[in-house]
């Protein structure tokens, strides 16, 4: 059961929505939420101005790194204070952390003592991103030792969760988490199994899901969907009005995904609802 939630804060609209999802879950699961804001060491120690001034033989102007650190620390404290106030208003137990380092690495390190990581789809520098998924978010989704909930920019109550299940080990882990969360929230669950054509349908896959979910006593239904997995999962989310997706995270090596693409990555880039990644 989810009792400890870690949420990444950077002041962006995506992060604000991530906080809302974290608090929404914490209220219903009686969990503690830790707000994490990372002081980006690249911004402090690797600033362009600092590097240029050093290469020209000048002292860094007004101790640029030190002043940058102080400014970022102050901004981080403001963000965390605002987060703590939101938690108090919602009667949610909370903690805060302000580490310094490489952002994705620090989030993954803090994730070791959490049950769930909640992070925005994109970050503060989204206007500079060439893709539809932030670099930090993608790195955390790939490396986090715990499940990751990637939230969209707009928060909405969760009422109709969907599980993509293909019988794999990662999908089985996602099904376990989906069963735990939906039963705790009292929500119905829809399970889809995507096959390339009707003749390839494997009844055993959904039979496994049915037997497993029946033990939880929750309301659920299972169906087979025909098509390419990445496209049909995204289409089912939109057409069915679902507001949360449970899915196994990154089933192939990075090399294979570079060549063949990744169902997980495609869904993340194209989903307008939160995606709950489980490995």
Per-residue pLDDT reduced to its tens digit, 9-47: 999 999 999 999 999 999 999 999 999 999 998 877 664
Backbone angles phi, psi at 232, to 5 degrees: -70, -35
Task: Report in angstroms the alpha-carbon separations of 229 from 61, 125, 128, 196, 234.
Answer: 54, 31, 30, 8, 9
The pTM score is 0.87
Could you tell me the two tokens for 79? 């963000």
Tell me: the pLDDT tens digits for 134-166?
Answer: 689 989 988 999 999 999 999 999 999 999 999
Q: Taking residues 159-185, what's their average pLDDT?
A: 96
Tell me: the pLDDT tens digits for 40-97?
Answer: 988 776 644 444 444 445 455 445 578 888 889 999 999 999 999 999 999 999 999 9
Specify the DSSP class assigned to residue 91: T
In order of start, what are the domains of the chain with their CATH numbers?
A: 4-41+70-151 (3.40.50.620), 161-278 (3.40.50.620)
Rg of the Cα trace of the chain? 21
User: Which residues, including other chains, have CB under 8 Å from residue 278's CB and lie 6 or more apart?
Assistant: 147, 170, 173, 174, 176, 177, 246, 247, 248, 249
Task: Report in angstroms the alpha-carbon separations of 2 from 31, 114, 146, 185, 225.
Answer: 7, 8, 11, 11, 30
Rounded to whole angstroms, the Cα distance separating 58 from 15 reads 38
**Which of 187-191, 205-209, 260-264 is the least confident region?**
260-264
């Amino acid at each position: 059961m989810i009792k400890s939630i870690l949420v990444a804060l950077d002041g962006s609209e995506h992060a604000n929505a991530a906080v809302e999802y974290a608090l929404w879950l914490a209220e219903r699961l009686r969990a503690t939420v830790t707000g994490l804001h990372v002081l980006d060491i690249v911004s402090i120690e690797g600033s362009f101005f600092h590097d240029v001034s050093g290469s020209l033989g000048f002292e860094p102007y007004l101790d640029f790194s030190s002043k940058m650190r102080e400014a970022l620390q102050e901004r981080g404290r403001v963000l965390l204070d605002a987060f703590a106030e939101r938690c108090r208003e919602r009667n949610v137990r909370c903690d805060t952390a302000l580490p310094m380092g490489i952002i994705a690495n620090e989030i993954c390190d803090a994730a070791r003592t959490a049950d769930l990581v909640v992070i925005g789809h994109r970050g503060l520098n989204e206007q500079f991103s060439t893709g539809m998924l932030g670099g930090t978010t993608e790195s955390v989704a790939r490396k986090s030792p715990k499940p990751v909930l990637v939230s969209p920019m707009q928060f909405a109550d969760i009422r109709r969760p969907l599980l993509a299940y293909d019988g794999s080990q990662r999908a089985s882990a996602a099904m376990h988490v989906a069963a735990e969360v939906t039963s705790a929230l009292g929500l119905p669950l829809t399970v889809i199994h995507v096959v390339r054509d009707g003749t390839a349908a494997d009844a055993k896959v959904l039979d496994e899901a049915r037997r497993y979910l029946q033990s939880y006593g929750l309301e659920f239904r299972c169906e087979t969907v025909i098509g390419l997995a990445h496209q049909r999962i995204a289409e089912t989310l939109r057409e069915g009005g679902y507001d949360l997706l449970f899915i196994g995270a990154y089933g192939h090596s990075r090399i294979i995904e570079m060549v063949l693409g990744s169902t997980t990555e495609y869904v993340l880039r194209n989903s307008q609802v939160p995606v709950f990644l489980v490995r």
